[in-house]
Amino acid sequence: MPPLSLPSRVEDVFRTFLSCEFATLGKDGAPIAWPVAPLYLPERGRFLITTSIGAPQKAFNVRRNPRVALLFSDPTGSGLADPPAVLVQGDAEIPHEVTTWNEDLERFWTVLARRQPSSEAYSRNALTRALTGWYYMRLLIYVTPRRIRWWPGGDFEQSAQEMEVSDVG
């Protein structure tokens, strides 16, 4: 997918929010949401979500039904003043391999270390790394947007502004 042509306020949310809610559909079709640390890949017009092989439920749900959503609603720690809340509805795909390191994970861990500096204490400790090696074995979930909606100032009482994929890029 080509890069997205987004309003700067929306792109700022993708670049600076520390987390978002990632929603998948369970076996029964009910939505299930988890907080995740997304990586925005603007040059590809998509997002990367990762999950450890020790917690694969997100991947199971995506493989069963690729329709997902990302809700960027909590600006805590972003440094943005009065940002919009942003909903990304799209399709997810997961490569069929477990990944321990590639260019995308290098970017992910770099961004995560900047967002959560205290987490580096765990990765620097050899014993912790030895006991939690499974944590660094990741399933990569790529989300390609179909529709992006945003609410100025995070005010859900207002009507959302919206871009369909045909309008994006």
* Domain annotation for the chain: domains and CATH numbers: 8-167 (2.30.110.10)
Q: Summarize pLDDT for 61-92 with one digit per residue, the tens.
A: 999 999 999 999 999 999 999 999 999 999 99
Residue 168 CB burial class (10 angstroms; 0-12, 13-18, ≥19): middle
Specify the DSSP class assigned to residue 169. -
Residue 136 has pLDDT above 60, yes or no: yes
Residue 167 pLDDT class (50, 70, 90 cuts):
low
Q: Which of 82, 66, 80, 85 is nearest to 149 (CA)?
A: 85
Q: Where are the alpha helices (DSSP H) in the chain?
A: 8-16, 57-64, 103-115, 120-124, 126-131
pLDDT of residue 164: 86
Residue 123 pLDDT class (50, 70, 90 cuts):
confident
Q: Summarize pLDDT for 100-120 with one digit per residue, the tens.
A: 999 999 999 999 999 999 988
Q: Give the integer Cα–Cα distance in Å for 43 and 102.
A: 17
